[in-house]
Amino acid sequence: MKAVCVFCGSSVGRDPSYRQTATIAGTAIARAGLSVVYGGGKVGLMGAVADGALSAGGRVIGVIPRALVEREISHAGLSELHVVETMHERKTRMANLADGFLALPGGAGTLDEFFEQWTWAQVGIHSKPCGLLNVKDYFQPLILMIERIVAEGFIAESYSKMLVIEASIEPILRRFSTYSPPVQKWYAPKA
């Protein structure tokens, strides 16, 4: 594993612990010798992740749509900044640059990006780990929903278990380093 893609809020949230955890996550990823791939912003939790990694001497690669650069929210101090035309291009470029995907607290964009990568893992488009950094049990309602999805028979339990969910970054990075994907959805043996 060389790079972790981090999805998270362009806001910092109401509790200061969200920003603090984002900074710690960026720092830990860099100290583990991994690059951070993220949305390229200087604001919110995105900026905190980038700043944490950069302060630890890490490599940070941002991918941002031109429209957001023009609003002057791109981070000026990154190792690399890829400017793309659309959000779809952004997500594809981030996916291609990363070896794993991690969501921190965020809004609809964070969930969209994370769910797309988890879905791609289920159908075998990639075999990269997907994790949730469950700061202050932020993702607990989502975890309950995923359990309901499994209970109602809409996904196999193995696909819910493929998610790496922890309250701190270090166990996630350890589990990412030993990750083994389940059998791809369309190639799973018939029951």
3-state class (DSSP) for residue 181? coil
| Cα–Cα distance for residue pair 135/21, rounded to 1 Å | 7
185 part of a folded domain: no
Q: Which residue(s) pair with 130 in the sheet?
A: 101, 163
Residue 190 reports pLDDT greater than 90: no
Contact indicator for 44, 9 with CB cutoff of 8 Å: yes
Per cent of the chain over pLDDT 90 is 88
17 part of a folded domain: yes
Residue (of 130, 69, 75, 76) closest to 98 by Cα position: 130
In the chain, the number of structural domains is 1
**Orientation angle between helical segments 108-122 and 87-97, nearest 10 degrees:** 50
15 part of a folded domain: yes
186 part of a folded domain: no
pLDDT given for residue 33 in this prediction: 98
Confidence class for position 154, pLDDT limits 50, 70, 90: very high
190 part of a folded domain: no
pLDDT given for residue 186 in this prediction: 56
188 part of a folded domain: no
41 part of a folded domain: yes
The CATH number assigned to the domain holding 98 equals: 3.40.50.450
Place of tokens 């957001």: 68
| Cα–Cα distance for residue pair 148/2, rounded to 1 Å | 34
pTM (whole model) above 0.85: yes
141 part of a folded domain: yes
The pLDDT tens digits for 106-149 are 999 999 999 999 999 998 899 999 999 999 999 999 999 999 99
Helices vs. strands in the chain: H and E counts, helices first: 8, 7
Q: Print the domain residue range for 9.
A: 3-178
pLDDT given for residue 189 in this prediction: 52
Residue 188 reports pLDDT greater than 80: no
